[in-house]
Amino acid sequence: MNDRTVNKLSGGYSCQVCGYPELQYPPRDSDGIASLEICPSCGYQPGYDDDCLGRSTDEARALWIESGRKWWSTRPRPEG
């Protein structure tokens, strides 16, 4: 985990791809094990997108931006 993933305002973790600030877990723990938490904003899943698909966070970010930065989750998008 690096300091980029900790969101000091929300107390959660930020997505490495889109910056969504309210993830519950860091992308990887101190042993390098992926959280497998799916970001509701962009759909990025550490341990799947990077390990299984071989997609870097930069590649995932570019794909998300190219798709129009659409909200991924079926749950309502937060205001703001």
Note whether residue 66 is domain-resident. Answer: yes
pTM of the model: 0.82
Residue-wise pLDDT tens digits, 31-53: 999 999 999 999 999 999 999 99
Note whether residue 10 is domain-resident. Answer: yes
Note whether residue 80 is domain-resident. Answer: no
Written as six digits, the tokens of 34 are: 């992926």
Neighbour-count burial of 80, counting CB atoms closer than 10 A to its CB (0-12 exposed, 13-18 middle, 19+ buried): exposed
Residues in the chain: 80
Domain containing 16 equals 1-73
Residue-wise pLDDT tens digits, 17-33: 999 999 999 999 999 99
Q: How many domains does the chain contain in total? A: 1
Note whether residue 78 is domain-resident. Answer: no
